[in-house]
């Protein structure tokens, strides 16, 4: 007896459970490929901008370059732009306390980091939900299918393995589908979460280093 025959002969509720699990699996794989591309691009853009930033280029020149041709995949570029833009704006105001300038710069960079964090963690909650709930959804379909199989025994004169096995087999397919949907989602969630945390940590490190550079600049001009 083929698997397709077992699925087609399952009860309507079990078939609905299977359909939900297949849909969740398909959407999960789409998001896995999309997240993989996004995080890979973000890492490459980070390394590229770090090379430009630490190459000794003048910060004003670098700001003009990234403003003229922005790279939306580069989280560091967004943080740098936000910080330097606020720094330039505050320095144009006469009599502004240097510490007030730095507080405004750090606040702007924190906002930029939060936005980049949202980009990196987009759709991860869906993967976590699929990974945690799919086995239980599949188990529900299995339990329901087995209940139907045992109810069917009441209509036969003699209960044999051949009588009950097809119903149990079709019910267990729901559990298999639940695991098939959950396992890749859990692996992808853990992998992408770790990579996102690494990138976010590097964003904060860059923001601290950039703040130190601007701190020296703002105080050297006031001396």
For 140, the domain range is 3-222
Which pLDDT belongs to residue 223?
A: 47
Q: What does the mean pLDDT of the chain come to?
A: 87
Q: What is the mean pLDDT of residues 93-114?
A: 89
pTM for the predicted model, two decimal places: 0.82
Residue 156's pLDDT band (cuts 50, 70, 90) = low
Q: What is the mean pLDDT of residues 110-119?
A: 94
Q: How far apart are CA 162 and CA 170, in angstroms?
A: 13
Structural domain count of the chain: 1
User: What does the pLDDT look like over 125-146, one tens digit per residue?
Assistant: 999 999 999 999 999 888 888 8
Which pLDDT belongs to residue 64?
A: 92
User: What does the pLDDT look like over 178-216, one tens digit per residue?
Assistant: 999 999 999 999 999 999 999 999 999 999 999 999 988
Tell the burial category of 152 from Cβ atoms under 10 Å away from its Cβ (0-12, 13-18, 19+).
middle
Q: How far apart are CA 96 and CA 7, in angstroms?
A: 72
Which pLDDT belongs to residue 80?
A: 95
Angle at 41 between CA 114 and CA 111, to 5 degrees: 10
Sign of CA dihedral 13, 5, 147, 178: negative
* Cβ-based neighbour number of residue 192 at 10 Å: 21
């Amino acid at each position: 007896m083929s698997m397709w025959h077992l699925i087609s002969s399952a009860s309507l509720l079990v078939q609905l459970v299977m359909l939900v699990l297949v849909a969740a699996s398909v959407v999960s794989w789409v998001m896995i490929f999309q997240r993989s591309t996004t995080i890979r691009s973000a890492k490459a853009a980070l390394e590229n901008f770090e090379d430009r930033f630490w190459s000794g280029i003048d910060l004003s020149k670098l700001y003009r370059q990234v403003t003229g041709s922005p790279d939306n995949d580069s989280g560091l570029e967004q943080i740098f732009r936000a910080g330097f833009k606020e720094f330039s704006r505050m320095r144009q105001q006469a009599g502004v306390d240097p510490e007030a300038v730095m507080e405004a710069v750090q606040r702007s960079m924190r906002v930029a980091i939060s936005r980049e964090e949202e980009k990196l963690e987009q759709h991860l909650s869906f993967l976590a939900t699929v990974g945690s709930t799919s086995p239980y959804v599949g188990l529900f379909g299995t339990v329901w299918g087995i209940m139907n199989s045992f109810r069917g025994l009441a209509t036969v004169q003699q209960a044999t393995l051949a009588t009950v096995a097809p119903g149990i087999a079709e019910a267990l397919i729901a559990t298999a589908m639940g695991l098939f949907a959950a396992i890749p989602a859990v692996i992808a969630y853990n992998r992408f979460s770790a990579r996102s945390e690494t990138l976010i940590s590097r964003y904060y490190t860059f923001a601290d280093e950039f703040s130190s550079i601007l701190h020296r600049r703002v105080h050297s001009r006031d001396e």
